[in-house]
Structure formats: structure tokens, C-alpha cells
Structure 1
Amino acid sequence: MRAQLNGKTTVEVHTEAFGDEAYAAAWLRSADGRWKALWTEPRLGSTDGHWQLYDLAKDRGETTDVSMQNPSVIQSLVNRWNTDMNNVGGVEPLRPQGYY
């Protein structure tokens, strides 16, 4: 990792998709590092509760949600997220009907 931090290699540190979740937010970065799917509770995130998608190659500041323009990318990342949650026994909180 030292070589990566010192700029002496261009090899990717992560070669698989990875993410995290905490405090009403979840995210997953694609294996190639280009895409990031983000879910955040409404008021802080999208008002309708959808997963947002950012193209990190063009928008490192994550300012433009491109999920509507890239439905297959966001669907694949959300599917991966759900698979990972099932594999580790993660439990999503119950939300009342009409929550969003």
C-alpha cells in the first residue's frame, strides 16, 4: 500500500466491489472504481428513497446522480449489495408503508 500512497504504482488497491453501511446510509463502489451507488435516508438523501449513482471518473465530488441514465449499472450494484447483505446476515430496518 505504501507504493500506492507514494504514487509509485498504478495498480488498483481494490479489485472487487466493496462498500459499507452505517447510520441510515449505505454505499458500494464498483470493482473497476468507476461507479458508486449510494443510499441515504430521506431528508439527507433522495426524497423518494432511491439508490443514487455517481460516475467517479467524471464526478469525484459526487454532485450529479446519474442513476436514471444508467439503470443497468445501478441495478447491478444494488443486486450486489443485496447479495452481500444476505451473505453476512445483514438486516434492513423495517420502514412503515408510505415511508417515502
Structure 2
Amino acid sequence: MYGWVPTGPAPAAPPFRYYKGFPTEGGTRVPFFISYKGLKRTGTTPARGHVSDIMPTLLDLSGIKAPDGRFEGREVSPMTGRSMQPLLAGKADTVHPANEPFAEELFGKSGVRIGTMKAVNIRKPYGNGGWQLFDLSVDLAETHDLPAQHPAELKRLTDAWDRWAAANNVILPDWNSGY
């Protein structure tokens, strides 16, 4: 899609840092569109969602109970997302509470967000090779690294990422991916 652009995918996500494949805002902040008969809420919302929320939402809107460990005689993993139906029906303003950690890892690039604070760990040359801390309430472009000013906040976020990584059996690769 961006092969003809000399700068590659960078122009796809301004003013954010990086693009798909990265745990930065340029890689994670995306629009979500939904339409169905009876949709109550229209317009935009600042509510955070996650790709893992799509299936619980579709099941909820369809009136189908999510499988509880078994489906059609076989074992299935539980869904980790939440239904967005209350938000879409105008009965809630959020899908996830602000203090709920959002953790992720893709191709060795890691990130975690709690509220407006976000930590990312991206290997060189794309990152600094260690955890960086940003306050998204004032820095959506992730240009002001704050670990020296907020070491306890960085530890809170990286501890949350470590718990998530252990619970999800994350194995970090020993190579660097440009995507």
C-alpha cells in the first residue's frame, strides 16, 4: 500500500509516532466504524476499545452467549475482550475503565498503557532499546520521554506489562523487526 511512497508508511499516521506494527500511537490509534439497525449512539467517542472487544460485541448484539470453555464439543480459550454494546446503546461512556492496563507485544515491540500514561519498549534503531514513558494527555506524538521524571510510574506500567506477558506466555524474539 505504501510501496510507491519514498518515505514508506510514515505518512499514514501523522501526527503520531510510527505506524502499524508498532506499539506507539501511530500503530495503535485507529478509527472504528460500526453500523446496524437500532444503533443508538452516533458520532465519535473518546472511549478506548481493543480488537479483542469485537467478537464479544458481535455475540452480544446477536443475542448469542459467549462460549464458556467449550464450543461444539471442543475446548476453546476464553475471550479476553468486553462487549461494546453498552457504549453503542448509549448506556455507558466507556468500554474499559481508565485504570485497566492495555498491554501488547508484536515482533518484539512492547507497550502498555494505563489511563493516559504509556510505556513502550522498542529496539534500536526504531527506539532506544529500553522502556520509554509518555503522558498521552499532553503528548500524543510521544516525543517527550519521561522516565527520569516519573520512575515510579514507569515501574507501575512495566510491572503491569510483565504480569500480562507472564499470563500470556509471551516469548520475546532475539531479532529486530522493521515492521
Please classify the TM superposition score into its range, dividing by the shorter chain length: 0.7 to 0.9
The CA deviation at 1:93 is 3.2
Tell me: CA distance 1:79–1:63, structure 2 relative to 1, closer, same or farther (3 Å): same
Displacement after TM superposition at 1:17 (Å)? 0.9
More strand by share: 1
Compared CA separation, residues 70 and 9, structure 1 to 2 (3 A)? farther
Q: What is residue 60 of structure 1 aligned with on the other side?
A: 140
Residue number in structure 1 paired with 2:161: 81
Moved over 6 A (4+): none
Which of structures 1 and 2 has the bigger CA Rg? 2
Q: CA deviation at 1:77?
A: 0.6
Task: Output the amino acid matched with 2:117.
Answer: W
Q: Secondary structure at the match of 1:38?
A: strand
Residue 10 of structure 1 and its aligned partner are, at CA, apart by 8.3
Alpha-carbon deviations, 1:53-88, whole Å to 9, x = none? 000011111111111110000011101101111111
Give the 3 Å change call, closer, same or farther, for CA 4–10 of structure 1 in structure 2. Answer: farther
Q: Determine the C-alpha separation between the residues in 2 that align with 1:24 and 1:88.
A: 14
- Code of the aligned partner of 1:38: V
Name the structure 2 match of 1:6. Answer: 44
* Structure 2 alignment gaps of length 5 or more: 1-31, 35-40, 46-89
Query: Percent identity over the alignment?
Result: 27
Q: 1:9 to 1:63 in 2, by over 3 A?
A: farther
SS in 1 for 2:154: helix
Matching of residues 19-30 of structure 1 within 5 Å: 19-30=103-114
Q: Give the TM-score of the pair, scaled to structure 1.
A: 0.76
Alpha-carbon RMSD:
2.6
Partner AA of 2:139 in structure 1? D
Q: TM-score, normalised by structure 2?
A: 0.45
Distance 1:28 1:5 in 2: 28
Aligned length, in residue pairs: 91
Contact 1:21 1:27 in 2 (8 A): yes
Counterpart amino acid of 2:93?
V
Are the equivalent residues in 1 in contact too, given 2:118–2:135 (CA < 8 A)? yes
